[in-house]
Amino acid sequence: VPLNISVGVDDKDSTRYVPFASQSGLGLPNRAYYLELENARFKEVRAQYLQYVGKLLTLAGQPDGVALAPAVLALETELARVQWSQVENRDPVKLYNPMRLPELRQRAPGFDWDGVFQAMGLQGKADFLVVAQPSYLAGLSALIGSTPLPTWKAYLKHRFASAYADYLSKDFVDTRFAFRTSITGTPQNLPRWRRGVELVDDSLGEGLGKLYVAQYFPPASQQRIDELVTNLLTAFKRGVPALEWMGPATKQQ
């Protein structure tokens, strides 16, 4: 969707988790693909993306999918136009903007903030978002009001089908991979068994780690690590006060 909302460690207070909101919703790698009209490479990718949108919508049961594809591309182009550039997104200070619900409603009145907080399970837990790109909220809000509802429906159906194409039938998989090839240049998809194994491997994550720790990290190893950390803290307590280049307040911190 055009606004990515997630939960993560607060960049200014590592003892708590907070909800973040950032720009999102583009089917191409970044905004330059939409806005650099004279770039021959980007122009070619846009043409292939247009075909991809139309075919995927058709596969998803949209009878006029091909006819709706230009409107979807046009909407994504407008989203790209109001998004921040890659250079702007490199400044972590500018990306940290806590906003409570009243300010969110004021900045982006076209967005159903109460519905978002309810759907995300944030009600009663948080009444704010750390917004990465504040000006994007206003731009998105304006687009919500100015873009016809059928276009939004086609856009969301396409984004949904694209996100899950790899897990659907072969025609979805092949259509998705053919478009990826236009960007990555990868000539051939991995065999289905290999993709299945990689999916399971990626999904095991913490569960596999827990089994590994149970077998190879016994309590005695934990005790050794605890002692090591205690020794490190002791060394810092002795060493930091002796530093000449650090002020008293920083030493205390």
Provide DSSP, 7-51. EEEETTEEEEEEEEEEE---SSSSTHHHH-TT-HHHHHHHHHHHH
Is residue 86 classed exposed, middle or buried when 0-12, 13-18 and 19+ CB atoms within 10 A define those classes? exposed
On whether the CB atoms of residues 28 and 46 are closer than 8 A, the answer is yes
pTM: 0.81
Angle at 35 between CA 184 and CA 1, to 5 degrees: 70
Percentage with pLDDT > 90 across the chain = 87
Handedness of CA 56, 140, 136, 103 (dihedral sign): negative
| Buried/exposed 165-184: b ≥16 CB within 10 Å, e otherwise | beeeeeebbebbbebeeeee
Q: What is the mean pLDDT of residues 84-102?
A: 95
Q: In the numeric block, which tokens belong to residue 42? A: 């980007």
- 66-78 mean pLDDT: 98
pLDDT at 209: 87
Of residues 210 and 54, which shows the higher confidence score?
A: 54
Whether the predicted pLDDT of 38 surpasses 90: yes
- pLDDT (tens digit per residue) in 18-34: 999 999 999 999 999 99
Rounded mean pLDDT, 34-60: 96
pLDDT tens profile 210-246: 899 999 999 999 999 999 999 999 999 999 999 999 9
The amino acid at 7 = V
Mean pLDDT of 114-130: 91
Q: What is the pLDDT of residue 33?
A: 96
